[in-house]
Amino acid sequence: DVPVLGGHAGITILPVLSQATPKVDLSPAEIDALTKRIQDGGTEVVAAKAGKGSATLSMAYAGALFGDACLRAKNGEAGIVECTYVESTITESPFFASKVTLGKDGVQAIHPTGQLSAYEQEALAAMMPELKESIQKGVDFVKNM
């Protein structure tokens, strides 16, 4: 289990490897390489398929897991924690992906980022301009519909 913070694309995706369960001891080079592979996973799949498809199976599977978690929470199961993208005040970004606790009526609690490594703190700061710009584009799109 690796929490993922931030947004949806490129550097706005921050896998928090320092909070992985089970704990794993990675070198700085391994952390950097693995972070970049996670951030570019969809692009990597498209490249591997030579442009003849996308990472839709990965997205479908993630959606199915999240849908299952939502249904379990809606049915009264307690303690369901998932990472999801929500309106949030835990960072300077108005929307942000982080761990949340799900309940019968949706999101019960938005969790803070938790302790981040120096690498993750730098990555979080670096993503903010791009994440906020992307959010603003989405907000403007909806306002102009």
Q: Across the 145 residues of the chain, what is the mean pLDDT of every consecutive 10-residue run?
A: 94 97 96 95 83 81 96 98 96 97 97 97 98 96 94
Q: Strand 95-103 vs strand 106-110: parallel, antiparallel, or unpaired?
A: antiparallel
Q: Which residues contact 19 (CB under 8 A, 6 or more apart)?
A: 2, 3, 114, 115
For the stretch 28-68, pLDDT in tens is 999 999 999 999 988 888 888 887 877 788 889 999 999 99
CA 57 to chain centre: 17
State the chain's maximal CA–CA distance in angstroms: 48
Three-state secondary structure call for residue 91: coil
Could you say which DSSP state residue 112 is in? P
Catalytic residue, chosen from 1, 5, 8, 10, is 8
Rounded to whole angstroms, the Cα distance separating 84 from 75 reads 19
pLDDT value at residue 131: 97
Verify whether residue 111 is a known catalytic residue. Answer: no
Angle (CA) 31 64 104, round 5°: 105
Question: Amino acid letter at 26?
Answer: L
